Amino acid sequence: MSSAYFISDAHLGIGTAAFQDRREKILVDFLDKACRPGDTLYILGDLFDFWFEYASVIPCRFFRTLVALERCRSRGVKIRYFTGNHDFWLGSFFPDRLGAEIRTEPLKTRISGRTFWIGHGDGIMKRDRGYRLLKRVLRNRAAVSAYRCLHPDLAYGIALFFSRLSRNHPAFPDRDRDYLEFAESRFDEGVDCVVMAHTHRPLLHRRGSCVYLNTGDWIRHFTYGRFRNGRLSLEKWPVGRAD
């Protein structure tokens, strides 16, 4: 029986070289050992702290992860990549070289007889109105074209600087509540499973047969979702259950 895996928020590229190296080794270990032929890997955004493609340039610092994803593809793992708020500038590399399906919006789909609502989850919080406006500006074609005029080293330096600033913002105490309310509203519409990310807080909430799962992150928690044999669970790599 095949499995669907849900991972997010590795934010590869942040921290010291040693911190980056340790986390990437754990992620590559997961990609090599967990995902089997026939499985589907859902990447729910922010795999990278910043990603931007030029016509003939991709970031070399993520080489090991990209090679591990290629190994997944070559052994028959389907990859579906949902862009987050740090890696929304994905280009043609992932679909052309890794066979990945890229999605810029949430998806409602059926998996093994269950209805899923899947997305990164940015913009869910009620106080995210400013971010929702900024999101439309940053994803505008003119903004992408303007940023592409910068040298790659400068472009990445600027992006990582502002990314560090965004992580210094305090967490809102009502964040989990807003996400739970959103999931509950999807349950009322007939959705069986809601899978989101973005908060970096692993969470599994059940209402009868309905399940809301937040994948957590691969910075501190190393958690992920797994759907197999009709059951959605929250798990931790390399061993142990998180729920």
Check residue 144 and give its pLDDT.
Answer: 62
- Is residue 228 situated within a structural domain? yes
- Is residue 179 situated within a structural domain? yes
Whole-angstrom Cα Rg for the chain: 17
Which residue in 96, 64, 63 sits closest to 79, CA to CA?
A: 96
Q: Using CA atoms, how far apart are residues 65 and 61, in angstroms rounded to an integer?
A: 9
The segment with the largest mean pLDDT, out of 50-64, 136-150, 211-225, is: 211-225
What predicted TM-score, i.e. pTM, was given to this entire model?
A: 0.85
What is the arithmetic mean of pLDDT over 138-156?
66
- Is residue 243 situated within a structural domain? no
- Using pLDDT thresholds of 50, 70 and 90, give the confidence band for residue 56: confident
- Is residue 203 situated within a structural domain? yes
What is the arithmetic mean of pLDDT over 84-102?
89
Q: Using CA atoms, how far apart are residues 181 and 184, in angstroms rounded to an integer?
A: 5
Average pLDDT of the residues of the chain: 86
- Is residue 218 situated within a structural domain? yes
Check residue 173 and give its pLDDT.
Answer: 55
- Is residue 242 situated within a structural domain? no
- Is residue 47 situated within a structural domain? yes
Dihedral over alpha carbons 144, 145, 147, 152 (to 10 degrees): 110
pLDDT tens figures, 223-235: 999 999 999 999 9
* Phi, then psi, of 179 in degrees rounded to 5: -70, -40
Q: Using CA atoms, how far apart are residues 17 and 51, in angstroms rounded to an integer?
A: 18
Q: Which long-range contacts (CB under 8 A, 24 or more apart) does 145-148 make?
A: 147/52, 147/89, 148/52, 148/54
* DSSP for 92-115, written as a single string: SHHHHHH-PEEESS-EEEEETTEE
Check residue 89 and give its pLDDT.
Answer: 80
Check residue 96 and give its pLDDT.
Answer: 92
- Is residue 23 situated within a structural domain? yes
User: Which residue type, as a one-letter code, is found at position 216?
Assistant: G
Check residue 60 and give its pLDDT.
Answer: 74
CATH number at residue 114: 3.60.21.10
For the chain, the domain total comes to: 1
Q: Which residues of 186-205 are buried (b: 16+ CB within 10 A; e: fewer)?
A: bbeeebbbbbbbbbbbbbbb
Task: Give the domain range for residue 89.
Answer: 4-236
